[in-house]
Structure 1
Amino acid sequence: MEEQQLGRILVIDDNEDILFSAKMLLRKYAKEVVMEKNPKKIPFLVSNEEFDIILLDMNFSQDITSGQEGFYWLKEILKYDPSAVVVMITAFGDVEMAVRALKEGATDFVLKPWQNEKLLATLSAASKLKSSYKEVSQLKEVNKTLSAALSPEQEILTGQSGAMRNLFLIIDKVARTDADILLLGENGTGKEVIARTIHQRSSRADKIFITVDMGAITESLFESELFGHKKGAFTDAKEDRIGRIEAANGGTLFLDEIGNLSPSLQAKLLTVLQRREIIRVGTNKPIPVNIRLICATNMPLREMVQRNEFRQDLLYRINTVELNLPPLRKRLEDIPLFADHFLAAYAKKYKQALKRLSAPALEKLQRYTWPGNVRELQHVLERASIMSDNRELQPDDFFFMPEEEFNVHAATTTPDAQSLDDLERDAVQRAMQKHDGNISKAAKELGLSRGALYRRLEKYAL
């Protein structure tokens, strides 16, 4: 064993010979060995100092055989530090007492007088367990920090329209449950923002939130991406890999663009959702998963069910609660609040003076029909905040794509399907040329996700 591998060790025993022997043995392998005769000092020690391992005697002077004092102090230690790694020691141990100690939270159990090699092996295993506890704790903290940093919760909370107030009330009700939720709405309406808000207001808020863009996963990689795989399961499987569903265990899984799944993939997903277990590619071992499921799509799933393009049983499975997100053109009164939020964010991001909308600029924004919804509004505000030298943004600071390309809602007559396809193809082609083929920038300008843009590029052979 390497020196100082065991970290800080606290040894609690009323026998000075035991304390001395432990220190003599462990001082070479531990970073520090703290000895204590009086168990009544345990609360002070564990609440004010951090120990990697605690060696706790089960029998003190008041009760030298039953181990009751040891069980009492074990509970006290775990009350102050639930992640404490405690190894019980006694001269009167038996199997029954050992089993009880483990059931009550002890990590292991050794008899005294101990064999040095066995004690060191036991403490080495305990040290590894403590290290894993620390890693898990750090990962949880990192995840909470990332969730807070990445979550645009303020965006969804920005809204005073009747449609949004009603949506907020429903979110407050469903967030506290574990009900599966289906979010419906046009691209750019903020479905992922809503999903994150529901997660943050749920009992799983301190757990992980995993997003999967179903439209961007190819059929051949579907099982590997979602269920994981075993090393050697296929040509490129060079190591074991956990899938997205297993990674979300204990937390929330957000499946975006679920309407894009093929029938065969829908069947595989339904099986997982019904059984709440996954099987990694290359294995036969089922792994149980505990997830809160939120799905989203901009596609008419009920019409797709009628056309046999989407499984009815899968639709029932994913929409215990269904939320419809209103497009921005139906809540134009929310634009000033969105503008305040985004302009403040960009002033901070680009280290510039806070800018605001002039009355004519706001009027221009509220006349536009926003085919790309909130995502498009965010984009034009960011562009204006960068390009304008004025503290007060004017109408000329805002540029929109020609409305005839997207704004079918404002048309007095409905174009036929072919003309809509032509308009969409031209808009996609121009955006790709403008941004030199950059998918992310083109998708952002069009108010589309990357996956949706990929599908349109494939559709129009661009």
Structure 2
Amino acid sequence: MIRQNRNRDKLVNYYNKFAESGEIDPNVHPWVAESWQKSRKFAITAEKFSDLAEMSKEELRVLQNHHKAAVEYMQDFTDGIRDFLQEYDLCLLLLDNECNILKNYSSPYNRLLSKKIEGANLKLENVGTFSANIAAKYKSMFWMFGPEIWLKAYHDCDTGAAPVCVCGETAYIITVLSRDYEKLPQDAVISLLMSIKTAMEIHLKQKMFLQAQEAILDATPFAVYHILKNGDVAYTNKLGASRLAGIGAIDEQAKTLNLNEVVLNYRHTPIYKGFSGISCINQEVTWTTQVKTYEDITTVVPIKEEDAGENDEVKSVVAVTMPIEDLRMLVAHAAGYTAKYSLDSIVGISASCSLMKERAVRAAKKDNHILLQGEPGTGKQRLAHGIHMAGSRSNGPLISINCGDVTPELLEQELFGARIGQEISHPGKLELASGGTLLMDEIEKLPPQIAEKLAQSLQMKKILRIGEDVERTINVRIIASSDGNLRRLCEKNLFDEKLFEIVSRSIIHLPPLRSRREDIPLLTESILTELTAQHKTCMKKLTGEAIDMLAEYDWPGNIKQLQGVIENAVFTVKDDTINADSINLMGNIRPDSKWKEDKDIFIRAWQSAGGNVSRLANLLGVSRVTLYRYIKKYGVEK
């Protein structure tokens, strides 16, 4: 609050009147009056600021360091007006929002204050009425005349204080004391105070903005550079600095070198073209250095002044780059190419299950390729996820491909990638899985020519996209799964032997469910828990008779079939308890007449029964003679 000049003699009388009788004159400013009353209540005894208790030198040093930006800014500001402060004997203080004096910027010859007061606290309970604690309370600039100050030693001074606000909160308080109020007009001191306040607020907001901006840039998965026309790097974020250090572009003094000196093909890069005003958006760029060659996705934006014309010179560019390998990994994670299951999700107490998990744990700790073998539905995909999550590649992508799902031509493109036209080239799953794991399901169905090509690529750790002659490095672990015995297929020349040798460094056999019947109750409970969490329904339980029935069944479709049966029961039974009578061992296939007209339904029922005629006849409620008639009708072979 800026106040008009007051009659000092009257102000002295107001102060003395209150000091003697405790009576407040109506002409006393309300903020001052309230402060006087509280000062009297606290019985302030200090005569000068130098009488106040101070924090230790170490505490002051820590506090000043915490507010380093503000302290240094004020130092720079006052260095330019030092002669002015000395000529008019002005005292200038920087306080934090708790009214601790961080720094005294007065001249060493100042008659009012000494450097010793740094670390003192100017709250009302310590010094009584003073401009700083009033400005702090009301968050407003306040001018106070000498006789209004509680400490009599400063009654021949005037004082003003202004809060420095950042994001709507008081961060600091600038306080000035002036004794030569007749020589230096009040308006001049207030103008100085407001100038410091405004400039400091702008500076601190900009600094906060830049700190936030730098934190954001350091957190991005991109390397960001600001490059001057001569090739000097004016700024780089954390990732960019690490990449520059990797190619020797940062010297011993932590200064970045000129890109002309470290990037051998600098004049052929989008950065160099950017100084001609040519932008580049998400372009694949090769950077050649003496250390190694990088392939990045690069964006370059020329920086011009706001009023610059089209033909004006570009003085700097901003470049944003990301290694292609990192981009693929980022895309893989964004697309959900991550493990869904851990090894802990594989339940079982049987000896065969325990042995399988032990081998999986040992295999996960190594980095060699793995072959999972077992009947369909035994849980090869879940085990592969668990191995990936337990291994050193867990932060990398987990990408799957089913070798029996697509034609050989499409399968080759999916694995190795392909160039489509002159401009577009797509990576394959071997590249996308680089740094992680590629799960190859039904690898026994891989065509011989593709198997041979894959074996060579895995051996050399390099690939060629279809339609290209550019070699690309891959770093991938293969987890192959097979429903059949790959070794026997190799002996019959039905599978590539070299690829078998590569993927079978570690072989894990998954036992069929019928050989681990004691695990069925645990598996059932685990499946029920997962279904409850997935569909957010109430937990259901099976009766003892229902579990016994499941344990006695042979499960030709293994765990996958068990899951389908339980899932069907969960969604068809309305009660919380599932009885044996409510379980259909054919899952969602009902023993009605639809199988008599629909071959697909009959085939699924046939598979559910494991190709056992007697079992299927019982499940469908028909005679064996009737069943044989439909087997012949549909041309089904066991």
TM-score, normalised with respect to structure 1: 0.63
Is 1:375 the counterpart of 2:548? The answer is no
Q: Which amino acid aligns with 2:315?
A: L
Structure 1 position 244, deviation (Å)? 1.8
Structure 1 position 310, deviation (Å)? 2.0
Match of 1:322 among 481, 493, 507: 507
Is 1:165 the counterpart of 2:354? The answer is yes
Please list, as runs of the form range in 1=range in 2, the aligned pairs for 1:180-219 lying within 5 A after superposition.
180-219=369-408
Paired residue for 1:118? Answer: 314
SS in 2 for 1:274: helix
SS in 1 for 2:498: helix
Asked if the contact 2:585–2:608 (Cα under 8 Å) also holds between the matched residues in 1, the reply is no
Paired residue for 1:6? Answer: none
Instruction: Indicate how the Cα distance of structure 1 residues 325 and 130 shifts in structure 2: closer, same or farther if over 3 A, else same.
Output: closer
Asked if the contact 1:431–1:445 (Cα under 8 Å) also holds between the matched residues in 2, the reply is no
Instruction: Indicate how the Cα distance of structure 1 residues 130 and 208 shifts in structure 2: closer, same or farther if over 3 A, else same.
Output: closer
Q: Which amino acid aligns with 2:425?
A: D
Structure 1 position 381, deviation (Å)? 0.4
Please list, as runs of the form range in 1=range in 2, the aligned pairs for 1:279-290 lying within 5 A after superposition.
279-290=464-475
Q: Which amino acid aligns with 1:78?
A: K
Q: Which amino acid aligns with 1:363?
A: D
Is 1:395 the counterpart of 2:587? The answer is no
Asked if the contact 1:227–1:281 (Cα under 8 Å) also holds between the matched residues in 2, the reply is yes
Please list, as runs of the form range in 1=range in 2, the aligned pairs for 1:226-265 lying within 5 A after superposition.
226-232=415-421, 239-265=424-450
Measured against aligned partners, the alpha-carbon deviations of 1:277-313 in whole angstroms (never above 9, x if no partner) come to 2212212222221101111101122222222222322
Paired residue for 1:301? Answer: 486
Structure 1 position 139, deviation (Å)? 3.4
SS in 1 for 2:414: helix
Q: Which amino acid aligns with 2:321?
A: L
Q: Which amino acid aligns with 2:386?
A: T
Is 1:343 the counterpart of 2:528? The answer is yes
Instruction: Indicate how the Cα distance of structure 1 residues 172 and 328 shifts in structure 2: closer, same or farther if over 3 A, else same.
Output: same
Paired residue for 1:450? Answer: none
Paired residue for 2:366? Answer: 177
Structure 1 position 191, deviation (Å)? 0.6
Instruction: Indicate how the Cα distance of structure 1 residues 44 and 327 shifts in structure 2: closer, same or farther if over 3 A, else same.
Output: same
Paired residue for 2:598? Answer: 433
Asked if the contact 2:377–2:558 (Cα under 8 Å) also holds between the matched residues in 1, the reply is yes
Q: Distance in 2 between matches of 1:140 and 1:162?
A: 36
Paired residue for 2:129? Answer: none
Match of 2:238 among 50, 62, 78: 78
Percent identity between matched residues is 27
Asked if the contact 1:270–1:314 (Cα under 8 Å) also holds between the matched residues in 2, the reply is yes
Paired residue for 2:498? Answer: 313
Q: Distance in 2 between matches of 1:291 and 1:347?
A: 35
Q: Which amino acid aligns with 1:231?
A: I
Asked if the contact 1:180–1:321 (Cα under 8 Å) also holds between the matched residues in 2, the reply is yes
Asked if the contact 1:199–1:209 (Cα under 8 Å) also holds between the matched residues in 2, the reply is yes
Paired residue for 2:456? Answer: 271
Structure with a larger share of its residues in strand = 2
Structure 1 position 212, deviation (Å)? 0.9
Q: Which amino acid aligns with 2:577?
A: E
Instruction: Name structure 1 gaps, 5 residues minimum.
Output: 1-13, 17-34, 58-66, 403-428, 448-458
Q: Distance in 2 between matches of 1:368 and 1:326?
A: 16
Q: Distance in 1 between matches of 2:468 and 2:225?
A: 39
Q: Which amino acid aligns with 2:457?
A: V
Instruction: Indicate how the Cα distance of structure 1 residues 169 and 154 shifts in structure 2: closer, same or farther if over 3 A, else same.
Output: closer
SS in 1 for 2:463: strand
SS in 2 for 1:369: coil
SS in 2 for 1:293: strand
Asked if the contact 2:441–2:482 (Cα under 8 Å) also holds between the matched residues in 1, the reply is yes
Instruction: Indicate how the Cα distance of structure 1 residues 116 and 251 shifts in structure 2: closer, same or farther if over 3 A, else same.
Output: farther
Asked if the contact 1:213–1:256 (Cα under 8 Å) also holds between the matched residues in 2, the reply is yes
Asked if the contact 1:358–1:394 (Cα under 8 Å) also holds between the matched residues in 2, the reply is yes
Q: Distance in 2 between matches of 1:431 and 1:246?
A: 48
SS in 2 for 1:229: strand
Structure 1 position 248, deviation (Å)? 1.3
Q: Distance in 1 between matches of 2:553 and 2:474?
A: 45
Q: Distance in 2 between matches of 1:376 and 1:211?
A: 22
Structure 1 position 169, deviation (Å)? 1.7
Q: Distance in 2 between matches of 1:278 and 1:290?
A: 11
Measured against aligned partners, the alpha-carbon deviations of 1:144-182 in whole angstroms (never above 9, x if no partner) come to x6625xx14377422222212222222222212211100
Asked if the contact 1:47–1:81 (Cα under 8 Å) also holds between the matched residues in 2, the reply is no
SS in 1 for 2:393: coil
Q: Distance in 1 between matches of 2:437 and 2:504?
A: 15
Match of 2:331 among 125, 134, 139: 139
Q: Which amino acid aligns with 1:248?
A: A
Structure with a larger share of its residues in helix = 1
Instruction: Indicate how the Cα distance of structure 1 residues 382 and 41 shifts in structure 2: closer, same or farther if over 3 A, else same.
Output: closer
Q: Which amino acid aligns with 2:598?
A: Q
SS in 1 for 2:404: helix
Measured against aligned partners, the alpha-carbon deviations of 1:126-148 in whole angstroms (never above 9, x if no partner) come to 1x4379999778636525x6625
Q: Distance in 2 between matches of 1:442 and 1:155?
A: 32
Which structure's CA Rg is the greater one? Answer: 2
Q: Distance in 2 between matches of 1:282 and 1:322?
A: 35
SS in 1 for 2:372: strand
Instruction: Indicate how the Cα distance of structure 1 residues 50 and 259 shifts in structure 2: closer, same or farther if over 3 A, else same.
Output: closer
Asked if the contact 1:185–1:325 (Cα under 8 Å) also holds between the matched residues in 2, the reply is yes
Instruction: Indicate how the Cα distance of structure 1 residues 250 and 390 shifts in structure 2: closer, same or farther if over 3 A, else same.
Output: same
Q: Which amino acid aligns with 2:418?
A: H
Deviates more, 1:218-227 or 1:392-401: 218-227
Q: Distance in 2 between matches of 1:220 and 1:96?
A: 44
Q: Distance in 1 between matches of 2:389 and 2:432?
A: 18
Instruction: Indicate how the Cα distance of structure 1 residues 98 and 364 shifts in structure 2: closer, same or farther if over 3 A, else same.
Output: same
Q: Which amino acid aligns with 1:147?
A: T
Structure 1 position 242, deviation (Å)? 2.1
Paired residue for 2:62? Answer: none
Measured against aligned partners, the alpha-carbon deviations of 1:13-36 in whole angstroms (never above 9, x if no partner) come to x9x9xxxxxxxxxxxxxxxxxx98
Q: Distance in 1 between matches of 2:468 and 2:325?
A: 28
Deviates more, 1:370-379 or 1:253-262: 253-262
Q: Distance in 1 between matches of 2:585 and 2:553?
A: 8
Instruction: Indicate how the Cα distance of structure 1 residues 444 and 274 shifts in structure 2: closer, same or farther if over 3 A, else same.
Output: farther
TM-score, normalised with respect to structure 2: 0.47
Q: Which amino acid aligns with 1:332?
A: R
Paired residue for 2:413? Answer: 224
Q: Distance in 1 between matches of 2:568 and 2:538?
A: 15
SS in 2 for 1:353: coil
Structure 1 position 195, deviation (Å)? 0.8
Q: How well do the aligned residues superpose, as a CA RMSD in angstroms?
A: 5.1
Q: Distance in 2 between matches of 1:159 and 1:357?
A: 18
Q: Distance in 2 between matches of 1:136 and 1:283?
A: 19
